[in-house]
Structure 1
Amino acid sequence: MVNFNGTLHDSSSHLLSIENRGYAYGDALFETLKVVHGKVLFWEDHYFRLMASMRIMRMEIPMNFTMEFLESEILKTIEANHLSKATVRVRVNVHRIEGGKYGPISNDINYNMVAERIEADFYTLNEAPYTVELYKDFYVAPGLLSTLKHNNKSINVLGSIFAKENKFDNCLLLNTNKTVVEALNGNLFLVKNRAIKTPPLTEGCLKGIMRKQLMELIEKLEGYTLEEAPISPFELQKADELFITNVITGIQPITRYRKKDFTTEVSQLLLERLNTKIRLS
């Protein structure tokens, strides 16, 4: 079942036309949520990121788009798909209504929600080999738009094809300044000695929800320091540990980059703290 503007439909067919601005111009935003047995993880952070992104995109925020309303719509969608007692991935899509060319005729929006079952209730550490490479065919532009979850994801799509063709598990993206920004599907953290570094938003990385959660945990981690600073490609092979974060996977350790193998000690420690935080919230 698909939720389109609050109405449930059996299928997504015939809901979006070829004139849809998300399709025609990438004039759309989305949020990817993890919902565990009816509890939306980090819902407040997701909600405020979506509202801030809509303002940046000059979309009209409906009066009824409260945190409570959208959460109830998410849970309604999950229930309609008989997934209330499961762990679910929900994608909330917001697009400007049809009309106009580059210049829209209105800033009003439509929204839709889709849900699918996923396996793990809590976050687990994938300790299987996980190899990455730099993707250098195209570069991320530093700036505010790059921090949004919008539908202009051509670099991520092409990077994913490159990774598959070359048998990598993921790729790291560079910005136009040739510093490392993030992975194809999440934010990047680098550990060297007891210092943990992640690129600042000004580098063009996604304003990740899991990034925010882990930064809060790292700041409370005794014996470790956290720094938001650009990461040079030369730093990757000197690191002790690299890991990728997103709200669905949690923490994905990188085990190998080129000829360098990495440990997973900090990843394991943070994952334990993350699951504890979720249980207590």
Structure 2
Amino acid sequence: MVNFNGTILSQSDSKLNTENRGYKYGDALFETLKVVNGKIFFWEDHYFRLMASMRILRMDIPMNFTMEFLESEILKTLEANDLLHASARVRINVDRGEGGKYLPSDSAQVHFNIGAEPHDNPFYTIDAKANCVVDLYKDYFVAPGLLSGLKSNNKAINVIGSIYAKENDLDNCLILNTDKSVIEALNGNLFLMKDGKIKTPPLEEGCLKGVMRKQILELLAKDVNVVVEEASISPFELQKADELFITNVVKGIIPVTNYRKKAYNSDFAQSLVNKLNAKLRLLS
């Protein structure tokens, strides 16, 4: 069951209009959420990122798009899918409806739809036996700038990069910007650890303004034993690092195990997962 503008519909009844601007032009934004027993992880951060992104795309935000309204619609969707008392992955999609060419027509109005599916783990874990083998994806590059950091439906690089990873027996790829700096993974932000120092690319380089990235930076800021820097990461730094890890809201922290001939440990990533789960327990 899916939620179309507040109405719960079956998948077969929720056919997308071919004139939908999200379909025709990628004129849409989305948020991927992790929800456990009706508790939306980091909902305030997701909500304000969505509102800021809608403003950047010059969408007319409906008056009823309050944090409370959208939360109630998410919970309604979970209940319709028997996931209100379970662990779930939720996607909320916002588009500008139908009408116009590149220029939206005056009649185009913001629509939303929400889908939900089961998710295995209520809290974040790291599987010590799981591999995450990565390499650089160099066929296409991301242009630094505000639009590159949006959670928009324009994700061609992530799509074809994922196909490239599968064709080359990789678990993920690292994306470069046009300055040839490493900015993120295909499905999350990137952190690098070397000699007790942590680096992650700054937002102005084109990486996603990740909600989990924000949580990790807040946790690291409280650790007096760690130096944190938002700075460019060169491809040459990857093989010198002690640890690399990828972050996103659904999986939490994914340690990179191998990059080319380099193998990494995940000790620091595991300690971060423990702190992250402790923070969530306090928020519950």
Q: How far apart are residue 32 of structure 1 and its match? A: 0.2
Q: What residue is the counterpart of 1:73 in the other structure?
A: 73
Q: Secondary structure at the match of 2:19?
A: coil
In the alignment, what sits opposite 2:9?
A: 9
The runs of at least 4 aligned residues of structure 1 exceeding 3 Å deviation read 12-15
Judge which range, 54-63 or 106-115, deviates more.
106-115
Is the 1:77–1:114 Cα contact (8 Å) retained in structure 2?
Answer: yes
Is the contact made by 1:61 and 1:108 (CA closer than 8 Å) also made in structure 2?
Answer: no
Q: How far did 1:11 drift? A: 1.6
Over the matched positions of the two proteins, sequence identity in percent amounts to: 66
- Give a deviation string over 1:13-39, Cα, whole Å, max 9, x none: 453111111111000000000000100
Counterparts of 2:13 and 2:167 in 1: how far apart (Å)? 31
Q: 1:273 aligns with which of 262, 272, 275?
A: 275
SS of the equivalent of 2:250 reads coil
Aligned equivalent of 1:131: 133
Deviation per CA, 1:211-247, whole angstroms, max 9, x where unpaired? 0000000111131011000100000000000000000
**Which residue does the alignment assign to 1:58?**
58
User: Does the 8 Å contact 2:135/2:259 carry over to 1?
Assistant: yes
1:30 is matched with which residue? Answer: 30
Map residues 181-196 of structure 1 onto 2, 5 A cutoff. Answer: 181-196=183-198
Residues 220-279 of structure 1: per-residue CA shift (max 9 Å, x gap): 113101100010000000000000000000000001001111111110110000000000
Contact 1:30–1:94 (CA<8 Å) still a contact in 2?
Answer: yes
Residue aligning to 1:117: 118
Tell me, yes or no, if structure 1 residue 214 matches structure 2 residue 216: yes
Q: What is the TM-score with the length of structure 2 in the denominator? A: 0.97
Alpha-carbon contact 2:4-2:113 (below 8 Å) kept = yes
Root mean square deviation, CA, Å = 0.9
Q: What residue is the counterpart of 2:205 in the other structure?
A: 203
Kept in 1, the 8 Å contact 2:35–2:87? The answer is yes
CA contact (8 A) 2:243 2:264 kept: yes
The SS at the match of 1:205 is coil
Secondary structure (helix, strand or coil) at the match of 2:11 reads: coil
Q: Which 5+ residue runs of structure 1 have no aligned equivalent?
A: none
Counterparts of residues 241-280 of structure 1 (less than 5 Å): 241-280=243-282
Question: 1:197, 1:229 within 8 Å by CA — same for their partners in 2?
Answer: yes
Q: Matches of 1:49 and 1:12 in 2, distance apart?
A: 31
Letter in 1 for 2:199: K
Question: Residues 88-107 of structure 1: matches in 2 within 5 Å?
Answer: 88-106=88-106
Q: Whole-Å Cα distance in 1 between the matches of residues 240 and 268 of structure 2? A: 16
**Secondary structure of 1:248 counterpart:** coil
Superposition TM-score, scaled by structure 1 size: 0.98
Question: Separation in 1 of the partners of 2:61 and 2:14?
Answer: 25
The AA in structure 1 aligned to 2:224 is: E
Q: CA deviation at 1:108?
A: 2.4
Aligned equivalents of 1:33 and 1:12: distance in 2?
24
Give 1:12 shift.
5.3
Letter in 1 for 2:123: F
C-alpha distance in 2, partners of 1:79/1:13?
Answer: 18
Summarize the alignment of residues 141-180 of structure 1 with structure 2, pairs less than 5 Å apart. 141-180=143-182
Spell out, residue by residue over 1:35-74, the C-alpha distance to the aligned partner (whole angstroms, 9 max, x if none): 0010000000000000000000000111011111100000
Distance in 2 (alpha carbons) for counterparts of 1:66 and 1:152:
25
1:98-148 alpha-carbon deviations (Å, 9 max, x no partner): 111111113520000000001100000122121000000000110000110
Residues of 2 paired with 1:25 and 1:256: CA distance? 37
Structure 2 residue runs of 5 or longer lacking an equivalent are none
In structure 2, distance between residues paired with 1:250 and 1:90? 15
